[in-house]
Amino acid sequence: MEDLFYQKLLQILPENQIKQKERMENHTTLHIGGSADYLVTPAGTEEIREVTRLCNQEGMPFYVMGNGSNLLVSDAGYHGLIIKLGEEYSSVLTKEDGTVTAQAGVLLSKLANVIAKQSLTGFEFASGIPGTLGGAVTMNAGAYGGEMKQCLTAAKVLNQDGKVLPLTNDELELGYRTSILQREGYILLEAEMKLDHGNQQEIFARMQELNRQRREKQPLEQYSAGSTFKRPEGYYAGKLISDAGLRGYQIGGAAVSEKHCGFLINKENASAKDFATLIHEVVRIVNEKFGVTLEPEVRFLGDF
């Protein structure tokens, strides 16, 4: 069955874009996770469409990922196919009027640099977010007072029927860490932004300043999935965790960062079970002490 499925994948993708029994610890910023049955890296929209169509026809579960910066994969791995949208699907086109069109797999850091070199401003906030454009639009990523909603004008998505749909900013239904892509299971293909012209030196200076602040405040030197919890209304997750006495709290190899309590880190070869247990314990203890329920930003993939 699996060999037959692999042969069908080879009719869509070249062999070097298909991996079997691929360790997911090599594809997430947490460096945690067992093997996925298949991992593919499509280089074009038609390849993405054909792979999803094949999975649906064959009853093969699939999951779409970018840089794996908010993903916790089970120690048992993922029994299905991972579509990784990365460097192979990351073209960027800029126009003189400030319009930028980019494919879902481009890293936000790379995209921010391309935009800055064109003396366009409004995307500086995203330059240090460790993800891809696909994840950023799907989650309406934000930082330092900016969010994707502010600069997006349109997007192309693939729906569950394999149709490419154009969506406007309003139709994307972007809210705090949410969008219609999440709710409907759409896959981002490309996004369009409209940015203002600015002073290139000032744009790069702003990006450098934001990245300096990140280095000072966040445990960038350790494996993490970024900010682990959504911000509860009226509170800050990191402060709640700190006030609950959980700074440095550790289960197995997973720990609450001492540098920033909103970050849980893979401190000592943590297992997915360690990390998941730590998340649940932090949620439980904060809820007991303050009556606030923290909601993880991290996605759980596989059996826990």
Give counts: helices (H), strands (E), the chain: 8, 19
Report how far residue 191's alpha carbon sits from residue 156's, in angstroms, rounded to the nearest whole number.
6
Give the residue carrying structure tokens 């089970």: 74
Residue 136 one-letter amino acid: A
Tokens representing 208 are 């450098």
At 179, is the secondary structure helix, strand, or coil?
Answer: coil
Residue 114 one-letter amino acid: V
Report how far residue 233's alpha carbon sits from residue 110's, in angstroms, rounded to the nearest whole number.
32
At 101, is the secondary structure helix, strand, or coil?
Answer: strand
Contacts of 162 (CB under 8 A, 6+ apart): 49, 52, 53, 56
Distances (CA, A) of 275 to 61, 159, 223, 255, 263: 24, 32, 12, 8, 12
Catalytic residue numbers read 177, 227, 297
Closest alpha carbon to 136 in 99, 85, 81, 184: 85
- Dihedral sign for Cα 15, 20, 25, 28, please: positive
Report how far residue 52's alpha carbon sits from residue 213's, in angstroms, rounded to the nearest whole number.
40
| Backbone torsions φ then ψ of 203, nearest 5 degrees | -65, -50
